[in-house]
Amino acid sequence: MKTVTKLTACAAILTATLMAQRPFGVLTSGSAPDPATIVANQVTRLTSLLTLTTAQQAQATTIFTNAVNAITPLQTSEATARQSLPAAVKSNATSTIDQLSTTIGSLIGQIMAVQNKADAAFYAILTADQQTKLSQTNFLNGPGGFGPGPGFGGPGRH
């Protein structure tokens, strides 16, 4: 269960990568890569780390693509609610602040649920040896499961 929780944190990184990509090098456009590229890069890193089979790669691609597709509209709604908060603060609209805060909390919870479910689905397709290897790497280390080295992109602002 602890590993699945750490995998959730890794999935959070996947979403952050989608939302907060910065250009790498002078020849990049500065725009975030599309979700398919992010998922493909993540599956490549996981394949390198865990020696995923072709079937596991296909399953992981489906799992993470579905997660990104489910999370994206939730993140958009969250961003909209966050952008509305300063106006509510400036006008001292405490009921609006309460409503927006509750909405943001609910959206974050929904995002976490999607990420946890994706992590659980990914973890379930791994062999026992792969699960052990994943648990023993820096992949899951660090505060909240984030660590140096390869990892999923996720909403870094949470």
Question: For 116-125, what is each residue's pLDDT tens digit?
Answer: 899 899 999 9
- The answer to whether the beta carbons of residues 65 and 35 sit under 8 Å apart is yes
pLDDT at 18 over 60: no
CA–CA dist 75, 131 (Å, integer): 29
Residue ranges covered by each domain of the chain: 2-8+33-145
Rounded to two decimals, what is the model's pTM? 0.68
Which long-range contacts (C-beta less than 8 Å, at least 24 apart) are formed by 31-39? Answer: 35/65, 35/68, 35/69, 35/72, 36/65, 38/14, 38/68, 38/153, 39/14, 39/64, 39/65, 39/68
- Which residue would you say has higher pLDDT here, 34 or 76? 76
Residue range 22-50: mean pLDDT, rounded: 78
Residue range 97-121: mean pLDDT, rounded: 95
Q: Can you list the alpha helix ranges (DSSP code H) found in 91-148? A: 94-125, 128-135
pLDDT at 40 over 60: yes
Side chain identity at 111, as an amino acid letter? I
